[in-house]
Structure 1
C-alpha cells in the first residue's frame, strides 16, 4: 500500500489525486464506524494526524515537481543550444570552398558538406553519412570523372588509396576530367577520426604549367645563346634522326652552308656532307657511325676524329634521354700541331732523361755497394773486435782480487767499465748494421708482458738507484704479439735513455690499453726535448745537448728503437714538455685467443765462482789470445784445461791422450775444416753426449737455430765471466 502511495513513477498530479482519495475513504470509514468506548474518537485523531502527514508529503511532492520542471526547462535550453551549435557547424562547413567529410574512429562517415565529391557528379549523391571509408574509396575509384594513371585499374588505385589512409597525414593530387585537379588531404582527429578535405587546385596547376613553360622558354633561349657563344659546333638530332637544333659554328667547321642545316634535316644529309669533305679517324668507319646513329636506344658514347686538309675536328656523340643524340665538333688543329711539336721535344727529352737515369742508376748502384760494404765492414769489424775484447775481459777477470792494490783495483774497475761501454757500442753497431742491411729477421709470437716488465725492472733498478732516481714499473698481465728480443731491446734503450738524461725525480714504465692494442709508455722527469729536435734525436750518433762518446753513449739507442719499431710494425710516438719531462710510446697489438706466450730468457745473472776442482775442460778456439785468456780464467777457478786451435787437432789430442774431458768450450768458426757444432756432433757420435757450449760473436738467428736443433748451449762473445761461471755451476 505504501508503495502504491509513494510510487515515484507517478506524476505529481496523480500522486496528489491518490492522497485525496485516501483521505476521503478514511473519513467515510470514520463516520460509519461507531465506537461506544471512544474508539471512534481515537480513529478521528489518527485520521487528523494522517491528514497532516499527507499534506506535508504533498508539499514535498510539489517542491520536487518544481525542481523537475526547472530541470526540464534547462534540458530544453541545452538541447536547443546543441541544435543551434550543430546548425552553426553545418553552416560553417557548408560555407568553406573545399569538400569536407568527417569519419569517426570506426571509419564511418559522420557528416559531409554539399561540396564533398563535387567533381564526381556520378557518385556525389552516394556520398552520405553512414557510408564506410572503404565504400567511399570504391565509389570514387569507379567514377568516370577521375583520370587514373596510365595502365592502372580502379581496383589497384583503390588499394593504393587505402594503404595511404593508414598514414596519419595524407596529401596528394588527383587529375579529373576536363583538365581539372583536386588536392585530397587527410588529417587525424584527437578521437581517432579522420577529416577529409577536397580542394580544387586547377588554377594553381595551370599557373605552374605556365610558369614552367616560361622557364623552359628562358632556358631554351639561354641554351641557344650558349650554343652560339661556345667555340664548338653542336647539332642535336631527335629520335627520328631529324635535326632539332644546331649553332652557326657547326656550318663553319664542316664547311656546310647554313641553308643546308635547317630544322628537320635528316642525319643522312649531314653524314653525306661529312664523307665528301673529311676523312674519319682510325678505329671507326662511316658505316659503323651510321649504324650507331640508327640504333633505337642504348647508344654508347662515341668519340672519333674528322680530318680535312686544313683542319682536324674532334667529334663526341652521346645519346639523350628522349632517344635522340647530340654531336659536338671541336677544332683541335692547333692542339694536334702542338702535340706533334711536343712529341718531338719529348723524344729529345726522353733521350736526355734516359741518359740521366743511367747515370743515376750507376750512382745508386755505387751507393748501394758502398752501403753494403759499410754494413759488411761494420759487421766484420765488430766481429773481429769482439775477439780481443773477449780476451781482454777474460784476462781482467783472471786477476786475483787479493793480489791487487786499492789503486790498481780502481784502475781495473775503470778498465772493466770502459770495456763494457765498448761492448755496448759494438752491439749497437751490429744492430744498426742488421737493421739497415735488411738482414734482420723477426719472429712474431705471443709474448707475456708481465715477465718482460719484471725483468726490465730488476735490470734497471740498480742503475736508477745509483743516480738517486725512483724507477716505477707498473705490472701488466696482457699478452701481445711481437718479437721478444727486439721488443726487449726497444724498452731497454728507452728506459736506459730515460735514466741517463734524468737528473732527479722518477722514471715510470707502464702499459695503457687501447682498442685491440697495448701502448707501452716510458715517462721521465728529465729536461724535455724541444719540438725542433724531436726528429733529429732518432738519427745515428746524435745526442741532445751532448757529444757522442764511449762513456756517455754514442747516440745509437733511439736510432735502433726507430728502426726496430718500423721492422716490427709497432707505431712509435713521442710527447715532451720542456722542463717537465718526456714520454716515449710504443703501440703493440694484443694477441687474440688463448695462444701460449713465449718464455723469455732470463737476463744474465751473477753466478758464484764454480767449485770445479778435478774437472777437465777442453777449449777449442782458433784465436790464440782468447784461448790463453779463457784458459787462465778456468785455471784460476781450479779447472784443468786442454786446448786446441782446430777441431782436427782436438780430435787427435783426445785420441792420443785417451781422456774425455768433463766439458767442451768450442768456437763456432774453427777454420775451413769444420764448425764447432760439427765438431761436437763428432764427439757425441764417438764418445756420447758431453756438456758443451758453442762460443761465437755472430748474433744472427741462424747459429741460434743450429745450436737449438743440436741441443747445444750458446755463449756470446765477448764472453761474460758470470755467464761462464753459471754454466760451470750447473754442470752435473
Structure 2
C-alpha cells in the first residue's frame, strides 16, 4: 500500500502532504471507533488499529528515511549534471570551431557561440527545438552565403539534405568576401548528428597561392620543354587565338615577328603560311579550316605536307578540354628519305632474293631429281638384285639339307651367313629408299605384343648365343596401336644393333607402362655411346665401330629414327660409357580386341609337309628350281609353272587343285602373280596362296591383303615360309570348318581364313 501512496516523481512537499492526510484519516477513524454501545468490540478494534498505526508509522518512518537518502542522491546528481553540462558548455566554448548537436529527431539541442558566427543573420535565428530542415533553409537564405541566384540556393538545399542522410560527410561552403567554411557531420550512436564548422579561409587562400605558384613554375617548365623538342608547336585558345609557340616553329616557317604575338587569329597565321607556300599545295587550307571550325570534341587531325623544296612535314592537330587546340609540325624529311632508300634497297634485295631463290629452287629440284633417280634406281633394281640372292638362298638351303663333309658344311654355313649380311644391307637400302621417295606408308592398328616378342626371341636367340650373349625377352600381354611391319622392323634393328655392339653380358627387350602409353625398351651391356656422338648415330652410314663390332653399314638406327617419325612413336636414348645403352620406343596402349569366348582354341601341332601339293609359279628358272628343291627337302610335292596357262594345264593333268600356291609377283609378258592367283581361285576355289615379290610398295601390300593373299618379300625367310606351310593342313576346305577358326592377324593364319571367307 505504501508503494501506491508514495508515487515516484513527487516532490518532498507533495509526499509529506499525502502522509499527513493519511495520519489524519487514521486518527479520525480511531476516534469514531470508540463508541460506548460496543465497548468490547471497540476496544479490540482500537487495539488492532493501534497495532496497525504503529506498523504504518514504522513503515512511514523507514520510507521517510529512504526518501531523505534518495533526495540527497538526487540533489547530488542534479549538481553533477549541472556541473557536467557546465563543463561541456565550457569545452564547446573552448573549441575553435562552431559546434551544434541535433538529436535523433533532427532537433537542435546544443550549440556553441562559434556556431554560424560567420552568418550573423542565421546566428540570431538559432534556438532550441529548431529542426534540421529549417536550419538548412535559414542558411540557404543568408546573404553571407556566396551563391549566384535562387536556383543555385535551391540546388544547394537539396544537396545539403541528401548529404545529411550519410553517416559521415565533409564539404566546403563558399561565403562572401572570399571566405570559406568546412562543414563536417558525424552520425552518433544515439542517432543524433554532431555538426562542426571550421573556418578554412586561410588554408584555401594558401592553397590557391601555392597552386598559382606551381602553375607559374609549370608554365616555365612547359616553355622550356617546348623550346627543346624537335616539333614546331602552336597553341590556340577557345577563340582560335594564338596563346603560345616555341623556337622550333620559328625555325621551320620563319613567320613575321608581328604575327607571333598573343592573340593573333588562326586565320591570319594560316593565310601567311599559305601565301608563302609553307604548307605545300592541295586542300590543306580547307582541311585545317574545317577542323578548327568543327565541334569542340573533334577527333585528332593528321596531315602530311610536302613543301616546294622537297621537305616533308607531318601536321598533327589535337583539341584541348578548354575548347582550344594545339598544332604541331614534325620534320619527317630524313625519315621519308630513309624509308625511300629502304624501299629501294628492299626492291634490290628482293630482286637478289628472287634470283637466289630461283637458283636454290633449281638446285633443290636437281637434288630432288637426283635423289628420286637414286631411289627409283634402288627400287627398280631391287628385283634384279634380290632375284639372284633369293635363288642363292634357296640353293644354299637345299645344300645345307644334304649330307656334307664337315669342312664343306662350315663353308656352306659361312656362305649362308655372308648372304644373310647382303640380305640385311639390301633390305636396309630398300627401306631408306622408301623413306627418301616418300613411299613409306603406315597402317596403325591394334596388335598384340606377345606374338611379336615371341618371333623376335626366336629370331635373335641363335645370333645372341653365337656371340656368347644372353638374350632376355620379357613377356607382355599388352595391346598397342602401331603398324606391325614397321614396329617389328624397328625392334629388329634395335636388337641387331645391341647384339652387334655388345661383347659380353646380355641384351634385354622389355615393356614398361607409363600412364596410357607403353615404352618398349632394348637394354644392352655394351661399351656405351659418348654424349657428343649420340646425335650422330642416327645418321645414315654412320658407325662408331668399337672393337669387336662386325657387319652393318650404319643404316639400322637411321631406319629406326625415320620409322618412329612415320609412326609418331617417340624414340629416346640413354647411355653410360662402360655400362651400356638403352633405346626406348613409346607406343600408345589400347585394350585387347573383343574375342568370342565360344570360339574353341586351335591346336598348333607342327606337322611335316608330306604329300602337300604346292604349285610354284616363277618365270626365273634358277629361282624356280631352287624353290622346288627346298620344298622337296621339306617333304612337299611341288609342281611348277611359269604362266597361268601352264598352271591350268598342270592342275588339269593332275585332276586336283594344289594345296597352296607360291607365286612370284613379276611374271613374263607383264603378267602378275596377283592376277594369276585370283584367276586360279575363281576356277578352283579358295586355295591358300603366298605372293613372293621384291616390290615393297604399300599399294601392293594393300591389294594382297584385300585379296586374302599373304605377301612375302624377297629374299625369302625360309623358316617363316615353312611355318606357314605347316599350318595349311590344319584348316579344312569347307566353310563350316573354316568358320570355327580364329581370324586374328599375327598368328600366321589370317590369310587362310580370309581366303575362305572371300569364297
Are residues 1:725 and 2:717 paired? no
User: For the Cα contact (< 8 Å) 1:141–1:154, is it kept in 2?
Assistant: no
Are residues 1:326 and 2:324 paired? no
User: For the Cα contact (< 8 Å) 1:147–1:176, is it kept in 2?
Assistant: no
User: For the Cα contact (< 8 Å) 1:243–1:262, is it kept in 2?
Assistant: yes
For the residue of structure 1 that corresponds to 2:371, the secondary structure is helix
Structure 2 residue aligned with 1:376: 376
Deviation at 1:664?
A: 1.8
Name the CA distance, whole Å, in 1 between partners of 2:101 and 2:607: 111
- 1:242-261 equivalent positions in 2, closer than 5 A: 242-254=241-253, 256-261=255-260
Structure 1 residue aligned with 2:223: 224
Name the CA distance, whole Å, in 2 between partners of 1:674 and 1:156: 111
Structure 2 CA distance for partners of 1:334 and 1:712, relative to 1, 3 Å: closer
Name the CA distance, whole Å, in 2 between partners of 1:316 and 1:80: 87
Deviation sequence 1:372-417 (CA, Å, 0-9, x none): 2333344445555444444444444445668467787777666666
Name the CA distance, whole Å, in 1 between partners of 2:214 and 2:366: 72
Structure 2 residue aligned with 1:316: 314
For the residue of structure 1 that corresponds to 2:640, the secondary structure is strand
Deviation at 1:352?
A: 5.8
User: For the Cα contact (< 8 Å) 1:141–1:158, is it kept in 2?
Assistant: no
Are residues 1:712 and 2:720 paired? no
User: For the Cα contact (< 8 Å) 1:608–1:725, is it kept in 2?
Assistant: no
Greater shift after overlay, 344-353 or 388-397? Answer: 344-353
For the residue of structure 2 that corresponds to 1:540, the secondary structure is coil
Name the CA distance, whole Å, in 2 between partners of 1:160 and 1:503: 99
Deviation sequence 1:201-220 (CA, Å, 0-9, x none): 77666666655555554444
* Structure of greater Rg: 2
Name the CA distance, whole Å, in 2 between partners of 1:525 and 1:627: 42
Structure 2 residue aligned with 1:266: 266
Structure 2 CA distance for partners of 1:662 and 1:356, relative to 1, 3 Å: same
Name the CA distance, whole Å, in 2 between partners of 1:160 and 1:567: 82
Unaligned regions of 5+ residues in structure 1, if any?
36-42, 600-605
Deviation at 1:660?
A: 3.3
Structure 1 residue aligned with 2:440: 440
Structure 1 residue aligned with 2:670: 673
Are residues 1:689 and 2:686 paired? yes
Greater shift after overlay, 426-435 or 206-215? Answer: 206-215
User: For the Cα contact (< 8 Å) 1:425–1:550, is it kept in 2?
Assistant: no
Greater shift after overlay, 229-238 or 170-179? Answer: 170-179
Structure 2 residue aligned with 1:40: none
User: For the Cα contact (< 8 Å) 1:525–1:581, is it kept in 2?
Assistant: yes
User: For the Cα contact (< 8 Å) 1:186–1:195, is it kept in 2?
Assistant: yes
User: For the Cα contact (< 8 Å) 1:182–1:201, is it kept in 2?
Assistant: yes
Deviation sequence 1:23-48 (CA, Å, 0-9, x none): x99xx99xx9999xxxxxxx9xxx99
Structure 2 CA distance for partners of 1:241 and 1:716, relative to 1, 3 Å: farther
Structure 2 residue aligned with 1:510: 512
Among residues 626, 629, 632, which one is paired with 2:626 in the alignment? 629
| Count of aligned pairs between the two proteins | 690
Name the CA distance, whole Å, in 2 between partners of 1:207 and 1:637: 120
Q: RMSD of aligned C-alpha atoms?
A: 6.5
Name the CA distance, whole Å, in 2 between partners of 1:55 and 1:213: 92
Structure 1 residue aligned with 2:752: none
For the residue of structure 1 that corresponds to 2:637, the secondary structure is strand
Deviation at 1:621?
A: 2.8
- 1:493-572 equivalent positions in 2, closer than 5 A: 509-513=511-515, 518=517, 520=519, 522=521, 531-543=531-543, 546=546, 551=551, 554=554, 556-557=556-557, 559-564=558-563, 566-567=565-566
- 1:231-242 equivalent positions in 2, closer than 5 A: 231-236=230-235, 242=241
TM-score, with structure 2 as normaliser: 0.66
Name the CA distance, whole Å, in 1 between partners of 2:78 and 2:579: 90
Deviation at 1:665?
A: 1.9
Structure 2 CA distance for partners of 1:685 and 1:523, relative to 1, 3 Å: closer
Name the CA distance, whole Å, in 1 between partners of 2:507 and 2:107: 88
Deviation sequence 1:168-218 (CA, Å, 0-9, x none): x97776675768888888999999999998877776666666555555544
Greater shift after overlay, 170-179 or 373-382? Answer: 170-179
Structure 2 CA distance for partners of 1:660 and 1:485, relative to 1, 3 Å: closer
Structure 1 residue aligned with 2:658: 661
User: For the Cα contact (< 8 Å) 1:237–1:267, is it kept in 2?
Assistant: no
Structure 2 CA distance for partners of 1:81 and 1:491, relative to 1, 3 Å: farther
Name the CA distance, whole Å, in 2 between partners of 1:459 and 1:314: 82
Structure 2 CA distance for partners of 1:230 and 1:492, relative to 1, 3 Å: farther
Greater shift after overlay, 236-245 or 687-696? Answer: 236-245
Structure 1 residue aligned with 2:366: 366
Among residues 680, 698, 717, which one is paired with 1:701 in the alignment? 698
TM-score, with structure 1 as normaliser: 0.68
Name the CA distance, whole Å, in 2 between partners of 1:184 and 1:108: 17
Structure 2 CA distance for partners of 1:703 and 1:579, relative to 1, 3 Å: same
Name the CA distance, whole Å, in 2 between partners of 1:672 and 1:362: 39
Structure 2 CA distance for partners of 1:673 and 1:698, relative to 1, 3 Å: closer
Are residues 1:305 and 2:306 paired? yes
